[in-house]
Amino acid sequence: MDQRLADLLALLELEQLEVNLFRGASRDIGAPQVFGGQVLGQALSAAAATVEGRVVHSLHAYFLRRGDCNAPIVYQVDRSLDGHSFANRRVVAIQHGQQIFNMAASFQASEAGFDHQVGIPPVPPPESLADSSGPPEALLARLPERVRRFFEQPRPFEFRMVQSIDYLHPQRAPPQRQIWFRAVDALADDEMLHRRLLAYVSDFFLLDTATLPHGTSFLKPTLIMASIDHALWFHRALRVDDWLLYAMESPSASGARGFARASVFARDGRLVASAAQEGLVRARKES
């Protein structure tokens, strides 16, 4: 397996300290704090470790404090419900004695029912698009060291953007974006594994969509951005080692908060998941 993906799988595996208590390592990907997708994936791993015979179908999470990349994170699981069809878990992530994150997740046994969905948007296939997992070398050389380190980190996913992005010179654009993505190598046939990885990667790009109508980006020193919450709904079986389309839109920004939502489509057009996120999008006050 590609080492980048193997490292991510190892990161999402937790050490069990006690019943309902787990510990995960932290990883510095060049951001000022622990990447939110890491905490989402690890919290989902902790919750799933206490559930049998069911697979996660939804999660709702809040980011409370910045995570420290240089310290482990402890995950405490509350077994809220073990019903006939559903199980519910609450997870609290703790670092340096404080809650940095909490999440509720619901799991369901496989069950048949009504079936309908919206259609996949008409976009070019991923093979026709350039690999945009990182910016061009010419752009890298012009970025601040902190930002350059973020982009130079080896990524376990590859991305192909339908709309090109100029982070240094952003232009006003409609609040919509589509990106194809997939893991860099093949993975085992484990539905829970693929859903944990989708939780991890779903934190890329989503909140950025709220900046598009305003001609700015997270690289601008005058902009402060941070995730507040994150929600995921898993609709159908999925594979993150095959191309998935992340179709994002931002219906609203107000009160120094940006809201974005997304549909995740499989290559064959199936709607496999939906996501939503609200985050702090604040113009820095001039001193």
Q: Is residue 287 predicted with pLDDT exceeding 60?
A: no
Q: Is the pLDDT of residue 141 over 80?
A: no
- How much is the average pLDDT of 136-159? 74
What token pair was written down for 143? 């970025």
| CB distance 151 to 140 below 8 Å | yes
State yes or no: pLDDT of 216 exceeds 80: yes
User: How would residue 33 be classed by pLDDT, with cut points 50, 70 and 90?
Assistant: confident
State residue 103's pLDDT score: 98
The answer to whether 91 and 46 have CB atoms below 8 angstroms apart is yes
- 7 or 137: whose pLDDT is higher? 7
Ramachandran angles phi, psi of 137, nearest 5°: -55, -40
Band (pLDDT 50/70/90 cuts) for residue 35 is: very high
pLDDT level of residue 239 (50, 70, 90 thresholds): very high
pLDDT of amino acid 164: 84
**Helix/strand number for the chain, H first, E second:** 5, 12
pLDDT at 147: 67
Q: Alpha-carbon distance 243 to 204, whole Å? A: 16
Q: Which of 136-140, 260-264, 283-287 has the lowest mean pLDDT?
A: 136-140
What is the structure's pLDDT at 139?
Answer: 66
203 is catalytic: yes
Which of these, 250, 242, 229, 164, lies nearest to 197 by C-alpha position?
242
26, 45, 106, 203: the catalytic one is 203
Report the mean per-residue pLDDT for the chain. Answer: 92
pLDDT of residue 275: 98
Region of poorest pLDDT, from 63-67, 150-154, 193-197, 249-253: 150-154
**Catalytic: which of 38, 106, 263, 277?**
277
Average the pLDDT over 1-9 and give the result: 95
DSSP code per residue over 100-118: EEEEEEEEE---------P
Catalytic residue among 26, 106, 227, 274: 227
227 noted as active-site residue: yes
Q: Which region holds residue 269: left if phi is over 0, alpha if psi is between -120 and 50, else beta?
A: left
Both structure tokens of 197: 């990885």
Q: What is the pTM of this model?
A: 0.93
pLDDT at 69: 92
Percent over 70 (pLDDT), the chain: 93
61-72: average pLDDT: 95
Answer whether residue 259 shows pLDDT above 70: yes
How crowded is residue 67: how many other Cβ atoms within 10 Å of its Cβ?
Answer: 22
pLDDT of residue 222: 82
**Homologous superfamily of the 3-109+133-283 domain (CATH):** Acyl-CoA thioesterase, double hotdog domain (2.40.160.210)
Q: Using one digit for the tens of pLDDT, what is the confidence trace for 223-236?
A: 889 999 999 999 99
